A and B are shown apart, each in its own frame.
Chain A
Amino acid sequence: MSIVTVQLGQCGNQIGHEVFNAICSDVHGTHGLCSKKENESYCDACKERFFCEEESEVPVARAVLVDMEPKVISQTLSMAARSGYWKYDDRSHFCQKQGSGNNWANGYSVHGPRHKEVIMNLVQKEAEKCDRLGGFFTIMSMAGGTGSGLGAYVTQCLRDAFPTSFILNHVIWPYGTGEIIVQNYNSVLTLSHLYQSSDALLVHENDVIHKICAQLMNIKQISFRDVNQVIAHQLGSVFQPTYTAEGGLHYSRNPLGDLMETLVPHPEFKMLGLRNIPQMPENSLAYSTFSWPGLIKHLRQMLIANAKMEEGIDWQVRPPRLGLHPLSHSANKPLQFNTSIANLVILRGKDMHSVDLGSFRDPSLYTSWLNPQDAFNVWKTPRAFNKYEKSASLVSNSQFLLKPLDNVVGKAWNMFASKAYIHQYTKFGIEEEDFLDSFTALEQVISSYTIL
C-alpha cells in the first residue's frame, strides 16, 4: 500500500524532503541488526509505501510539491536528485512566482481555487500510480500563508476527490514567540478547517523540537534544517514498516489505516502528538547502551507528565487512583496529569519481543469510556531504525495539546475582539463570521479534550 505525500509551502517542502531523506538513509543503512530476509521485506514494504520505481534508476518519491514561490521547490528537487539515492518526479510539482504573504485568506480563498485543477491533477496522477492507495500525508505549517491557507484548501479538495482515502495532516505549530503577527489567526483558521476534512492531525511544536535540538542533540546554533531533521526522524520512526498485528507474518500494508483505526476513530478527537526515545547526536550513539525497561519507563512518564522529551521529566506526576471518585473522575485528577484517549507504542530493534508494556495498559492512564484493550496498541519490528539499536516511539491522542491550543485561541480571540488586522482577511473574502465559526469549532475541541 502506498502513501502519497503532499508537501505544501516552504515548511512542508523542507520537512517533506527531510522525511524522504531519513527514510532512504534508514533503508540503505547497514545498521539493520536483523536477518537478511527480514531486512529485505522491510525495504520492500518501505519502497512500496513511499516510492515508485518505474523506468528510473533510483526510487521516485510518491509526492506532490506545492508552493507559491519557486525557490524552495527548486532547491528541494535538486537536493533530492543530488543525493543519488532517490529523487522527486520532475513533473510532480507546482509553483508560482509570488507567495501568499503570510496571509491565510490569500492562500485559502485566492491561490487555492485558482490553482485547484492543476494541483488536483498532479495528485490524481500520483494516486493512479499506486496499486493500492492507502491515503494522503500532507505536510504544512500552521501559521504561514501558503502552507496553512492553501494547505487547508487542498485538504478539503482531497477529501472531496478521495472520500474513502485516509488523510493525515502533519502540522507545524509555530514558535510561541513567532515573528508573524497574525500567526494565531492563521493557526485558528487552519486548525478549524483541517478538523473538518482531515482524519487526524499530527502536531509538532517548533518550541519542543528546538529544545530537543539544544538539549538532546547538543546543537549550538540551531538551523531550520536541524529542526526538520529531528521531525523527519520522528516521523520515520512511525511510518517505516512494522508488524501491526500480534504475531503478524507480514509488514503492515495499511499503515495509515492501522494508525487511524487505533488512535482517532472518534471524530471529535483528532489531535496526535509524537514522542520518541532515545534521541541523541549520532556520534554519541556508539558509547550508549539502552535497556528496554528503562526506555519504556521513561516513555510512560513522558506521556503522563506531558514531557516532550526525556530530559526534564516531572517524576512526581502519578495517574489518578481509579474508583475513588467515579463520578467526578476528571475533576479530581491531579492537574499536571495528561489523560489519554488512545496510545500507540512502536518498538524497533533488538529483543523487542521481550518488552513488557503492562505499564501502558493501566486503565488509569485513559479516559473512563475506553478500556486499555481498545485504547492501547503496539507495533513492532526487530529491524533497527536509523542507527538506534533500540528505539521506541509513542503516538498519542491525549490532552497534551490543550494548553498550547488554549493559548493560541486565547491570543487570537483577544486580537479579534479589538478587530486587529481583520481587514487583511476580509479583503480576500474571509469574513468575521468565518472567524467566529472557527473559534466555535476549536472551543468545542478544547472542551471535548478537557472533560475526558
Chain B
Amino acid sequence: TTCLLLPLENSSSFLSRTSFYNNCWFFPSMYCLSLYNQIRFVKSALWYHGYGRPELYRLPSDGSAGSRELLLAFSWLLHRLSLLEQLLARNRVKTGDETSVCTCEDDLPNSQTGTTEIAPEYGLEDRVDVRYLQWLNGRLRFQWRSLHAQHQEQCKLLHKIHLFTSGSHMDQTLGHFSVTETDLVRQPENYKQLLQLLELETMQLEAFLEWKQLEPVYWQWMVMNQTDFEGIFSQKSTILFPLPFFPLQVKTKEEELQKEEFSATARKIQESVELKLLNLTHLCAPKKTQLHGSCRLVFRSKHPASKMAVSATEVIRELQMREASLERELKQLQEECRQRLDEIAEGLDGVICISP
C-alpha cells in the first residue's frame, strides 16, 4: 500500500518501475533504503516541495496505511512540478557535453520557488545537542567540497578532450568531439548501446504523448474520488488542483461571509489578489540577462565570446553591486537592532548595556 507510484504502475506502457527508480533524481538509489527510511524520505521530499497536507505526514512509518494519501500527493507532484516533463528532460540522451548555467538572482531553479523553508514538525526530537547539528553541518560542508573538487576535475578532463579533438568534428560550428563522440571513436561498438538508449527514449516520448491524451481522464477520475479525502477543504493549506475544486471553495467561503462585511472583505481580497498578481508578473517577467538551464559546452580558443555567452566581468560587476547593496542593508539592519537593544536596555533597571 505504500507504493507511491501507483498510477504509473497502472499505465503499463509508460516506464517500468525499475527504470523509473533508477532514473529518478529525487530518489537516490531507492532500493538501498529501508522501508522506514523510504517513507521518511518521501515525506521530507514532499515537504520540501511545499506539499502541506498534514494527513500525509501523520501516516504511520511502517507503511501499513496511506495509499490514498500517496495517490493524492503523487497527483499533486504530477501537476505542481510537471514531474513527467522534468523526468524526461532529465533523462534525455545527451550526445553533446552540457553544463548547467544559472545566473538567476536567488540561485534557485525555477521549479523550486514554491519550496518551503520551515522544518517539518514531526522530524527532530525535542532535545538535540547543538554539537550534533554542527557535526552534520560540517559533514555537509565537506561533502560540498568533495563535489566541488569532482566538478573541477570534470571541467579539466572535458577541456582536455575538447582541446585534443579540436578540428575533428564535421560540424564547423562545434569543431571538436564531445565525450560521447570521443567514446564512440575509441570504441565504435558502443554505438549499439547508444542506439538502444535513443530507442528507449523514443519509446518514452511516445508513451508520454499517449499519457497526455489520456491525462484528462485521470484527473476526472481523481476528482470523482475526491469525496474520499475527508476534510480536504477544512485545512488551511488547501491543495489546489486544476479546475474542478475551485468553484466549491469559493462557494463555501461565500456562505461564511455575512452580508455587511461582504464589501469590506471583497475589497481586501481584491487588494491581496492584485498584490499577488503583481508579484507574479514580477516573477514571470522575462529576464534578459539571466540564464538558467542546460547549455551545450563548446570550446572556443580564440574567437570572441558570442552574444549568448555569460561574460565573467559582467557577472562580477553585477555581484559586486549586489554585495554593496546587501552590505548597505546589513548596516541598516544592524543600526535598527542597536536602536531596539538600546530601547530595551532603557527599560531595564540597574543594567548597563554596552552596544556592540
- Contact of B134 with A132 in the complex, beta carbons under 8 Å: no
B154, chain A: closest CB distance, angstroms = 9
- Contact of A368 with B138 in the complex, beta carbons under 8 Å: no
A161 within 8 Å of B by Cβ?
no
CB nearest to A375 among chain B residues: B135
In the complex, which of the residues A131, A164, A199 contacts B148, with contact meaning CB atoms closer than 8 Å? A164
A104, chain B: closest CB distance, angstroms = 29
In the complex, which of the residues B138, B139, B153 contacts A132, with contact meaning CB atoms closer than 8 Å? B153
The digit string for A264-289, where 1 denotes a CB below 8 A from any CB of B, is 11111000000000000000000000
CB nearest to A260 among chain B residues: B142
In the complex, which of the residues B136, B139, B141, B149 contacts A254, with contact meaning CB atoms closer than 8 Å? B149
A165 within 8 Å of B by Cβ?
yes
- Contact of B149 with A265 in the complex, beta carbons under 8 Å: no
- Contact of B152 with A132 in the complex, beta carbons under 8 Å: yes
> What separation, in Å, do the CA atoms of A369 and B135 have in the docked complex?
10
B16 within 8 Å of A by Cβ?
no
> What separation, in Å, do the CA atoms of A257 and B141 have in the docked complex?
11
- Contact of B138 with A257 in the complex, beta carbons under 8 Å: no
> What separation, in Å, do the CA atoms of A320 and B222 have in the docked complex?
58
CB nearest to B133 among chain A residues: A369
B212 within 8 Å of A by Cβ?
no
- Contact of B135 with A1 in the complex, beta carbons under 8 Å: no
B210, chain A: closest CB distance, angstroms = 38
Q: How large is the interface on B (under 10, 10 to 19, 20 to 34, 35 or more residues)?
A: 20 to 34
Measured between beta carbons, the chain A residues less than 8 angstroms from B156 are 131-132
In the complex, which of the residues B129, B134, B149 contacts A164, with contact meaning CB atoms closer than 8 Å? B149
- Contact of B129 with A368 in the complex, beta carbons under 8 Å: yes
A7, chain B: closest CB distance, angstroms = 22
Mostly, the A contact residues are: loop
A355 within 8 Å of B by Cβ?
no
B246 within 8 Å of A by Cβ?
no
A396, chain B: closest CB distance, angstroms = 16
Measured between beta carbons, the chain A residues less than 8 angstroms from B138 are 264-267
Within A161-176, the residues touching B (CB, 8 Å) are 164-166
- Contact of B143 with A370 in the complex, beta carbons under 8 Å: no
Measured between beta carbons, the chain B residues less than 8 angstroms from A268 are 131, 134
A432 within 8 Å of B by Cβ?
no
- Contact of B145 with A164 in the complex, beta carbons under 8 Å: yes
The digit string for B115-141, where 1 denotes a CB below 8 A from any CB of A, is 000000000000001011011111101
CB nearest to B149 among chain A residues: A132
B22, chain A: closest CB distance, angstroms = 17
The digit string for B176-198, where 1 denotes a CB below 8 A from any CB of A, is 00000000000000000000000
B146 within 8 Å of A by Cβ?
yes
CB nearest to A266 among chain B residues: B135
A261 within 8 Å of B by Cβ?
yes
Measured between beta carbons, the chain B residues less than 8 angstroms from A369 are 129, 131-132, 135
A255, chain B: closest CB distance, angstroms = 11
CB nearest to A254 among chain B residues: B146
> What separation, in Å, do the CA atoms of A257 and B142 have in the docked complex?
7
- Contact of A267 with B134 in the complex, beta carbons under 8 Å: yes
A437 within 8 Å of B by Cβ?
no
Within B277-335, the residues touching A (CB, 8 Å) are none
Quick one: which of B138, B149, B150, B153 has the most chain A CB within 10 A?
B149
CB nearest to A341 among chain B residues: B135
A133 within 8 Å of B by Cβ?
yes
B88 within 8 Å of A by Cβ?
no
- Asked, given contacts A261-B143, A265-B142, A368-B129, whether A165 binds B135 with beta carbons under 8 Å apart, the answer is no
CB nearest to A374 among chain B residues: B135
- Contact of B135 with A133 in the complex, beta carbons under 8 Å: no
- Asked, given contacts A261-B139, A267-B138, A368-B129, whether A166 binds B145 with beta carbons under 8 Å apart, the answer is yes
B65, chain A: closest CB distance, angstroms = 28
Quick one: which of A132, A133, A134, A165 has the most chain B CB within 10 A?
A132
Measured between beta carbons, the chain B residues less than 8 angstroms from A265 are 134-139, 141-142
B232 within 8 Å of A by Cβ?
no
B157 within 8 Å of A by Cβ?
yes
- Contact of A257 with B132 in the complex, beta carbons under 8 Å: no
In the complex, which of the residues B132, B146, B157 contacts A370, with contact meaning CB atoms closer than 8 Å? B132
> What separation, in Å, do the CA atoms of A367 and B156 have in the docked complex?
42
The digit string for A10-45, where 1 denotes a CB below 8 A from any CB of B, is 000000000000000000000000000000000000
The digit string for A131-144, where 1 denotes a CB below 8 A from any CB of B, is 11110000000000
> What separation, in Å, do the CA atoms of A165 and B146 have in the docked complex?
8
Within A331-366, the residues touching B (CB, 8 Å) are none
Within A232-273, the residues touching B (CB, 8 Å) are 254, 257, 260-261, 264-268
A136, chain B: closest CB distance, angstroms = 12
- Contact of A266 with B134 in the complex, beta carbons under 8 Å: yes
Within B138-179, the residues touching A (CB, 8 Å) are 138-139, 141-143, 145-146, 148-150, 152-153, 156-157
A326, chain B: closest CB distance, angstroms = 11
In the complex, which of the residues B136, B152, B157 contacts A133, with contact meaning CB atoms closer than 8 Å? B152
A341, chain B: closest CB distance, angstroms = 8
- Asked, given contacts A267-B134, A368-B129, A374-B135, whether A165 binds B142 with beta carbons under 8 Å apart, the answer is no
- Contact of A134 with B142 in the complex, beta carbons under 8 Å: no
Residues of chain B whose beta carbon lies under 8 Å from any beta carbon of chain A? 129, 131-132, 134-139, 141-143, 145-146, 148-150, 152-153, 156-157
Given pairs A265-B138, A268-B134, 10 additional interface contacts (CB within 8 A): A1-B153, A131-B157, A132-B149, A132-B153, A133-B152, A166-B142, A166-B145, A257-B142, A265-B137, A266-B138
Contacts A/B (CB < 8 Å), 24 sampled: A1-B149, A131-B157, A132-B152, A164-B145, A164-B149, A165-B145, A199-B142, A254-B146, A257-B142, A257-B143, A257-B149, A260-B142, A261-B143, A264-B138, A265-B136, A265-B137, A265-B138, A265-B139, A266-B134, A266-B135, A268-B131, A368-B129, A370-B135, A374-B135
- Closest 3 A/B residue pairs (Cβ): A265-B138, A132-B153, A369-B129
Residues of chain A whose beta carbon lies under 8 Å from any beta carbon of chain B? 1, 131-134, 164-166, 199, 254, 257, 260-261, 264-268, 367-370, 374
